Amino acid sequence: MYQHDIGKRSAKVKNVVERGAVKKFAEAIGDPNPIYWDEETGKRSRYGRNIAPPTFPRVFDYGVIEGLKLPSKGLIHGEQHFHYERPLFVGEELYCYAEVKDYYEKQSSMGLLGFLIIANNGEDPDGNLVFTSTSTIIINEAVRKAMSV
């Protein structure tokens, strides 16, 4: 179903790790660690500045992968993994893009399930990879049928 999309990427999109957004995100996930929002704590940390929570890249814009058609509802979020080369620093600019990494299908008791693997990547302005977030999107039989109508 999506095998022909493997390897497709979006164009890079500039994102900023904004202080206010980091503070609101930390509050929303219930993480009170002052490393995310208190400037003095950031200065005294081993990083010398504030950092963002590990799941913060969920808020970034990764652009659009041309030709990748996903339904607006009915998809199942299977799992997500984050890998970091270093923390995200408050105030820095990152260039983010999405890439279709894989697609495979498995038969289950609920019918044929499709598994679409998307990697979201963030690079610094010099093109060095800072993080990768890999998501698995599950496409169940009902969604597959609705897509073929």
pLDDT tens digit string along 83-100?
999 999 999 999 999 999
Nearest to 35 by CA among 21, 51, 55: 51
Q: What is the 3-state secondary structure (H, E, C) of the chain?
A: CCHHHCCCECCCEEEECCHHHHHHHHHHCCCCCHHHCCHHHHHHCCCCCCECCCCHHHHCCCCCCCCCCCCCCCCEEEEEEEEECCCCECCCEEEEEEEEEEEEEEEECCEEEEEEEEEEEEECCCCCEEEEEEEEEEECHHHHHHHCC
pTM given for the model: 0.90
d(CA 103, CA 122): 22
Query: Domains in the chain, start-ordered, CATH in brackets?
Result: 3-16+61-147 (3.10.129.10)
Of 4-13, 64-73, 140-149, highest mean pLDDT:
4-13
Strand partners, 79: 136
**Encoded tokens for 44:** 């005294």
Q: Give tens-digit pLDDT for 24-59.
A: 999 999 999 999 999 999 999 999 999 999 999 999
Compute and round to an integer the Cα radius of gyration of the chain.
Answer: 18
Looking at the DSSP bridge assignments, the partners of residue 122 are: 96, 131
Q: What is the pLDDT of residue 149?
A: 52
